[in-house]
Structure 1
């Protein structure tokens, strides 16, 4: 039978339950069954010989899945039946708004191994395809949800791991903080506590820990409330979930009698119905803090008592507000004296400016400002006020800044010393000193005339009656002359120092060679040094130097220093006189190797009538006026004097006259060594035995 007979082929494809097209090797449609007629007529006219490629290239057709060898872009350019088959090619057809899905399969038609054409079947799988797509989407959605769930589970595991670590860390932190933490359940049973609780309450075994038993173990006392029952108080608080904050108690262990101070706080954790679930209790050991506070309080009370009972007015002010923080009764009395008010004035917690707002005298206000701003101690003395008897009282008021550790001034301490007796005594001493000076001045004037007469008579006796004076009379007259000279020296020194203190000494400046004058004076007194077996040396940095200064006063200064040096230098030692010029300044040094001056006496040797009182020094006669006069003359002439000394090693006096004082002034007259220098030397050295 010829299977390729058209009738037979048509009968066969009609029997097939799907749309069937028969195409030749060029793709032209030769047959189609009734089921395919509707499909065919959508793209071709009845009886028209059309190519199947037109169907695949039609705009309404979309190929959903491609066969490996079937490509839309080249389907119209090749003989699709030439050795070519495909299965389950899925296409999408949209016709008049209706969408259909077809599965296309092709089968080659062979005759004696020669391809004659192809049978192409179109099976509608719209419902199956839609269901399959739904299943695919659900599967994809399920896979997505599964992936997301797995990711979330992984995240939860990570978070649980982190939470566990954080909980462990938090537990370690809670266990190691110094503040005790306890958690009680709604039945007040222990749930958790940290190590600090064990330490504070001396708990050895956590298993034996019971909060109620712990409360009974300790005697709890409130610091301010008497008959405080902590056991009942805490039971009520736990039952009602009462909030307790910073309750400070003194607890005593009934077993060991150890006393501690704790700060107790509690707070309830409630559910949505406001019922208590847990109670968190914190306890803090503040024993050291409390002991320190009590110590500070004791010290403060002690200081307040001390300030209150001290005999002098005392107060402490805040700075810069000048609010009076502490003041004793004496200060309140002192304040009333300043205000000239017999009524009590509120001082403590009052402001200084408000207290003294009507006081015109502002020296205290200036002192406070200076002390606070500069930060240095300030003394206001003497400060005169009228007491309750309208008598003058004198005070020395000291203002001392109080600095904190950061250096800021936060307070000023004020205390006043009553120096009325000292002031009165000082005034009496001044009057006595004034009377004494006047007395010495008068006596000196009165003595000078008879001394001059005695001295002149002695000179006359030696000049007129030299042959009649025998050895014994000569010895007596020499003693009279020597003591006259000593008295004359004393009188002259007293008069000179009185003039200096009164400001009556005037300078008579002359131009002269100071090197020549100094060397002449040293040479002239050398026989006094030799009489005590003392070597007297003069040295100078220049052979000559003209200066302008008061020549007579310079002679008196030098003679005083040399007389002192010879008097207090033991036999066999030496005295060195140096005249040195450095950068125009002149230095006169008189250095001896004598008995020296004790260190605690150096500051007093220039005081009038002061003398080092030792067994070695008292063998030399003197009044202690010479060095005082020397210092005053040097200062009047514009110079300075310094002394260095060691006991048993000697002393060195250094006088310095600056260049601008001694430089030559042409308008001054010139002079030479006077003839009366010998008389001055004789008078000055009259007490050298």
Structure 2
């Protein structure tokens, strides 16, 4: 095709973008053309007959039309018009079908850069075909044309034997005419491609008479190259195939350029940094995936065509960027704007793209999200501020010095440690701040640091330095020599701290340990320490002496000591000790251990686990010889067994008393009352006197038996309370009436005073009556004739308080608690004088205790006594343990002693 010719190209395409891309590719190759677009069959026919195209470029599939139909119409109109199928969906089968149907070439849209070459090739083929037709008319002219063609033109017979070889073939393949004529064409391609050429070249050629393919070819020296191969089937006059003619040209550079371009496109598209292209108006024409993702968009179409100003926070920044681009390439950092309106910092590297003559045709920018960099810089700045603040406020002195031992830096802590201000310290020499001994000690550590250079760690050591007043101060130093990249020492850096308190504490600890060691040496108990981290044991000398051994006579280990335990104890105790230590719980065991002499002694082993401040874990405990206490315990056990046997005998006795004593007493009392009442005849005064004496003593003995039995039941928990509601005033009046005869006999005046607020209470009415009866009977017993007794009843919150006051003989202060013990009277002579066994007050106390009540007494010798008891209005049901009292269960706490006043008659 002549350069000045305007090529008429009929495009069959329905995607404007694909059409525009194809036109740009053709135009960029230097082809001057006039396009005509057809999207339907009618448009295509109009283009054929009116536009008269010189070449047709058609998509394979359109919504209302397709490439195969267009090919059919084109061949019908003019079979010489080159027809190129440009599609994005064609596979090999469709391509073969299209080529068989008469298509000149097919190109995938992803390889659209080949389109200009294909057009040129198709036009060249068209021209070649025209030349061929002309050559038929003028064979000699045609032969010369073939010979001078820049393309390789080769002819073979059907077996592949080369029959002609032009100059272009010599130039492309490197073989001369003589070297190839008569040889098989297989010398021009790689042996591995034999099957491919047979299937993709020869068979389609035989089928349709023409074929075109890109394939690997082989030069004379063995060099492979990519060639565009076009073949025609040569037929004789009657249409029988007799040979093949093919022409070839080298497209290696074009393919390599296309591959290189594809690789660059993929590299740019998949790069980590964002890449954008901007036209001269400041609008984006391209953005790779990293760029539009960075800006918060999901695809590039959302950003293409938009101004760069849309993607910067400040419009002034956008103007500045565009102005700078017009002037020169540059780098800058600014805040970019995402789709959602959020801001983030980016670094832009911008450059300008020029055409072949130096004109600026576009701008390119590389974008890097520097959010993490900015955050790191801010964090670094914050960290530096923090460390500066820390260095200036830490209690440790941070310092540095040159290799000639002159201090170059110190924080303010040097003032607190040695009394120097930082400005006084900096510039001074280390030698001036310590005596010769400590200076030489520090120099030894410097020497060690130099030997371990340059990867040595810091060295920790203690020395004494002189403060500003010249006094020695114990200092702990962590120092490190700093080396440059060449391994040369450049400075010494480190920290120092005043360890005066630590040294004093260590001294005190050492003294404490010595005191403890002395204490353990004289201790009567065995003492042991178990280092749980090192699994090491220590036993003090007493631990050995206790078992009859000398110090260190056997190993200090739990196994060795375990073997001294009684086998029955060892299998139970050892696992529990280990478990207690593992769980950090205290333990205490009584075990038998063998002495050196073979005897068994009882040992109390106690221990607990401790987590020391130093981080160590110790178990510490004692060993105490409790052999004597175990013997005492055994004796007490035997005594308890004996007591239990005695108690059993007592219970048998009480059971016998209940039957053997009550039965005859009931008969004695009953028959004596019959005789007194004259049931067996009248008795005289003397007989009646003795009968009444017999009856009274019988009642007294029966009362004693009943009291003893009741007390026994209480002690054996054999009595239960029967709660009911009752009026305590009525019960008290009933008791007063039952004791009226005895009061009249001694001419004792009795009275009762009650609170108006007293209502019903819930208690055991029989026990309440017996409590009052025993107290009133006791008052009558110890009150002389013409005396007074008064009963007072009041409400106190949730309790009822009852007092029985008499003008009797009184009770000494030392005896006030004893009167509530069984079988006790304050004076033995009273038993003979007043009678009784001393059980009434015991039963009163026990009955009150069962009600969760209490009793107390106020008394003065020869003036009288006052018994006050309290009982809850409502029952409080509790375990028996509620009656325990540290002083005396069932006894009310005493109030300040007041002298009892005799009640008024």
- TM-score tier (shorter): 0.3 to 0.5
TM value normalised by structure 1 = 0.45
TM value normalised by structure 2 = 0.37
* Greater RCO, 1 or 2 (C-alpha within 8 Å, sep 6+): 1
